[in-house]
Amino acid sequence: MSTVTNPPPDTSAATAKAPPAVSFAEAFRFWLKLGFISFGGPAGQIAIMHTELVERRRWISERRFLHALNYCMLLPGPEAQQLATYIGWLMHRTWGGIVAGALFVLPSLFILVGLSWIYLRFGDVPLVAGLFYGLKPAVTALVLHAAHRIGTRALKNRWMWGIAAASFVAIFAFDTPFPAIVLAAGLIGWFGARRWLQVFALGGGHGSARAGYGPALIDDDTPTPPHARFSRSHLAKVLLAGLGLWGLAMAVLVATQGLQGTLTQMGWFFTKAAMMTFGGAYAVLPYVYQGAVEQHRWLSGPQMIDGLALGETTPGPLIMVVAFVGFVGGWLKQVLGPEALFLGGALAATVVTFFTFLPSFVFILAGGPLVEATHGKLGFTAPLSAITAAVVGVILNLAMFFAYHVLWPQGFGGRFDWPSALIGAAAAVALFRFKVGVMPLLGACAAIGLVVSWLLPVLR
C-alpha cells in the first residue's frame, strides 16, 4: 500500500461524537500491532497510520496528522517512525512517544536477527541462494526507482538538477564522503535562498486537510496539551537524558571493547549515520556502504545488497537494514568470541539499532514544540530542499554500484550475468510502468531467481 485512499465524506460527520479517551493500554496494543503490519516503506506505513488513526479510530484529525507529518519530514531519520513517536507523545506524554516509537522498530529487529542468522548459516544452501539470486536485481531496480521518485519531487529547476549532478560526480568520481556532500548542499541552500528565493522554495507539502471522518479525539481546534508546549526546562531535561543515555551506552562499550572495538566503532558510526538520514533510508545507504563495507569491512558489497533485500521484506522502517549490517559485522568479527557467533551478531544488531534510533526520539521529545514554530520558514526549509536534490545524485550512484555487483559478479573482467539483467529490467518495468508494490515484486523476483538458479546449471 503506497497511497492514502480516502473514503467518501461521511454525511453524518457533523452529528457524530468524538471518540472516548484512549487508555495507555489500548494505545500500547495498537502500536504493537502497527509494528508487525507496517510494510510498504514510509509511504505505505504513513498510509496505514492515516487509515487507522485518522479514518477508523479518529484519534487525531487529518489536519493535525499532516501537520505532524510535515514536521517529521524536516528531520533526519525515518519519518514514519518519528510520526508514530510524535502521535504517541501527543496522546500519552513522554512514555507514550517512547512506546509508540520503540514498538515500531522492535518487531523488525527481532525478525531481522532471525533472518540474518538464517542468511549466514544457510546462505550457501541452493534454495536460499536461488531466492537471493532473484532478489538482488529487484533491489537494484528499487534503488533506481527511489532515485526517480525523489528526483521528480526535488529537481524542480536547473539549479536543483545541477546540485544533483554535482553530488553524483563528487561521490562517483572523487569518492567524497556523504556528510561532506550533505554539508555542502545545505550551505548552498542556506546562502542561495537569500539571493534566489524562488529557486529553493519547497512546493506543495502533503496535500490539504480533508474533513469527513467525524470529530477526532485530537481535533483541529483541540488545545495543545500542556506537555506539548515549549518549555526550556523540559527541553533541557530531554536533551540531558538523551545525551546521558548515549554517553552511558558508549562508556559501557569503551570499557568492555576498547576505543577500537567493533561494537564501539559501530556505536559511533551509526550515531553519525542517524544524523545523515535526510531524504529517507535510501539517502543514507551510500554513507552506510562507505563506512560499513569500504572503511570497517563489517560486510561485503554483495552482502549489503542481500541485507537491503531482507530489509524490504520485513515490517518497520527500511533503515532497519542497519540491524543486518550489525548482525553480519558482529558475527564475522566474532565480538563475543567464536563460540557465541549468534549472540555476538544479535548484540551488535541491538547496539546498531539503539544508536541509530536514539536521535529520533530526542528530536521528537525535545524539539517538537520548538521546531513546529519554525515550520514553513524558508530559512529553515531551503537547506533541506538543496540536500534532497543532492541526495538524488547519491542514490543514483548507489544504484550503479548495485548494478555493477549484480551484472558482473566477478568484476568487469568476468562474465555478464544476463539472467540477472533480464530480472532487473522486468522489475524496473513493473515498478515504473505498472506501479507494482514492493512485496509482490520481491516475491515474484525471488521465485524467478529460484527457477533460474535451478535451470542455469542445466543450460550451461
- What phi and psi values does residue 60 have, to the nearest 5 degrees? -150, 145
Place of cell 484519534: 59
Strand partners, 218: 60
Q: Which of 399, 417, 324, 390 is nearest to 183 (CA)?
A: 390
CA angle, corner 265, sides to 263 and 267, nearest 5? 70
pTM for the model: 0.72
Q: Per residue in 48-73, pLDDT tens?
A: 788 889 888 999 987 778 777 767 76
Q: Per residue in 100-122, pLDDT tens?
A: 999 999 999 999 999 899 999 88
How many CA atoms, within 13 angstroms, populate the side-chain half-sphere of residue 365? 27
Contact between 300 and 289 (Cβ < 8 Å): no
Q: Per residue in 190-232, pLDDT tens?
A: 898 888 877 876 544 433 334 467 888 888 778 878 888 888 8
Least confident of 113-122, 135-144, 196-205, 401-410: 196-205
Alpha carbons 182 and 52: distance in angstroms, whole number: 35
